[in-house]
Amino acid sequence: MNTHLVTNPWLIALTVAFVILTSTTGEVLTAAAMKSIGDLDLIRAKFGMRGAIIAVVTCPTFFTGVFFMAVAFFALLFALNHLNLSFVGPAVASITLLLNTAAGKFFLKENVDRRRWAAAVLVCIGVYLLAH
Amino acid sequence: MARHHLTLKQFGILGMIMLCTPLGDACLARGMRQMPPITLDHPLQLIQAVFTPWIALGILLLIGFFSSYITALSWADLTFVYPATSFGNVVVALLARFWLHEQISVSRWAGIILITIGVTIVAQGPPRTAHTEEQAQ
């Protein structure tokens, strides 16, 4: 039984917001890096596994993305230590999904049409319902 | 939207993403609940947590997730890959229902259906749209 749950709503909101923002930043930077590197399967077929690893580890944007994802990971550990998974999991997953969709459109120039927006909203509501 | 052409291997990579995420999160949650309260005054306790069995297993699963995830991002959009991560929650809920014979409420069934519809809608389109636009220019 967990005896150290946080009850201050502002602290809860701040913790969850921090996890979401660092996570989204990490996801977008990592996606941008992988987009610039190109299809890893093709690189591996041409230059082997070593070539694929070198292509990834020599990309500075990738490491910046990983840095933010690592920060998000430790922030999530902190959140799980103080808040219920049934709250943190869906809250982070659903809001990050919507932010990633917006970031995909505006920063990664992905073609986020009505279908992708509809899908993002459906999955967001679905994640919330699944946890309650 | 043009139809996509994912190979069996690429579907396997998406499957790895779907399974490793919820299982990894569950291991992390279980591990962190066994830890004493961690305060911002002693942040190094978070590093110590990494070496406990459940957290270590959770991290191994998340490494499996991450390697699959970056591979998928190399040939698909973030807005194509990311919804797939949520489908892992559906897999876990269905396992709980049919393997562990747990009861699932109506709202949870509704959640399962909505996520499935959402992921199916995204999967109907091409995995890489930014690339398609570049090719079109």
Rounded Cα distance, A73 and B27, in Å: 13
* Domain membership of residue A52 as a residue range: 9-130
Q: With bands split at pLDDT 50, 70 and 90, how would you rate the model's confidence at B4?
A: low
Q: Which of A80, A118, A129 has the CB atom closest to B28's CB atom?
A: A80
What is the DSSP code string of A63-119? Answer: HHHHHHHHHHHHHHHHHHHHS-HHHHHHHHHHHHHHHHHHHHHHTS-----HHHHHH
* Maximum average pLDDT range among A23-32, B16-25, B43-52, B81-90: A23-32
Share of chain A above pLDDT 70, in %: 94
The Cα of A123 is separated from the nearest Cα of chain B by a number of Å equal to 4
Which residue of chain B has the CA closest to A75?
Answer: B46
For the cut 80, the answer to whether the pLDDT of residue A83 exceeds it is: no
Q: Read off φ and ψ for residue B125, nearest 5 degrees.
A: -95, 180
Q: How do the domains of chain B map onto residue ranges?
A: 8-136
pLDDT, position A106: 92
The Cα of A71 is separated from the nearest Cα of chain B by a number of Å equal to 11
Q: Please, are residues B19 and B88 in contact by the beta-carbon 8 Å criterion?
A: yes
Total tally of structural domains belonging to chain A: 1
How many other CB atoms are there within 10 angstroms of residue B36's CB atom? Answer: 11
Does the ipTM surpass 0.95?
A: no
- Cβ distance A126 to B112 less than 8 Å, yes or no, reads yes
pLDDT, position A99: 93
Share of chain A above pLDDT 90, in %: 44
- Cβ distance A82 to B82 less than 8 Å, yes or no, reads no
Q: Identify whether A41 is part of a domain.
A: yes
Q: Which residues contact A44 (CB under 8 A, 6 or more apart)?
A: A51, A52
pLDDT, position A5: 62
For the cut 80, the answer to whether the pLDDT of residue A68 exceeds it is: yes
Mean pLDDT of chain B: 82
Decide: pTM greater than 0.90.
no
Q: With bands split at pLDDT 50, 70 and 90, how would you rate the model's confidence at A65?
A: very high
Contacts of B90 in chain A (CB under 8 A): 130
